[in-house]
Amino acid sequence: MADNPLSAEAGPPGAVCDGCVWRYRGGRGRPVGRCRRHGNQRVSAESPACAAYTPQLDCLTCGACCREAYHGVEVGPRDPFVKQHPELIVVVDGRLNIRRTGDVCACLAPRDGTWPCVVYADRPKTCRSFEKGSDNCLIARQRLGITP
């Protein structure tokens, strides 16, 4: 099997880009296969996987977005989260934000190397709109060393 055209570092044996969360179809004009991990460059579905190959993302064990993507999460005053979890709300510059413990969202409960969110089912709109596998997700994962 040939090497991945975007990276010299090989991924798992037999894995191809088509099974990786960082591959998507997009671009101007007719959508083509692209890789978020490698600057949105074109990549074939059949290309051998690189070292950043990730078959799936599990938000409940990762928590990279809550640890590294933002320094604060603003919540709208009418978001149900505000009434459901008032103990997690603070006012910053006149705006409602989710409280942080150090550099980490107070909604996370780290244990055994995972970062589950204790309010995941009730999370505010801001958190629900964060797209799993997006560029922001990738950047947060890279900063934490989860994705090479």
pLDDT in tens, the chain (148 residues): 567 888 888 889 999 999 898 899 988 889 999 998 898 999 999 999 999 899 888 887 888 888 876 778 899 999 999 999 999 999 999 999 999 888 889 998 888 888 888 998 888 988 888 888 888 888 888 888 888 7
Contact 59, 79 (CB under 8 A): no
Residue 85, CA atoms < 13 Å, CB-side half-sphere = 19
Q: Say what the pLDDT of residue 141 is.
A: 87
Q: Please report the pLDDT score of residue 142 as a whole number.
A: 86
SS3 labels along 89-145? EEEECCEEEECEECCEECCECCECCECCECCHHHCCHHHHCCCCCCHHHHHHHHHCC
pLDDT at 57: 86
Cβ within 8 Å of residue 130, ≥6 positions away: 65, 69, 136, 137
**pTM given for the model:** 0.71
As a whole number of angstroms, the distance between CA 92 and CA 30 comes to: 44
Residue ranges covered by each domain of the chain: 1-56, 59-143
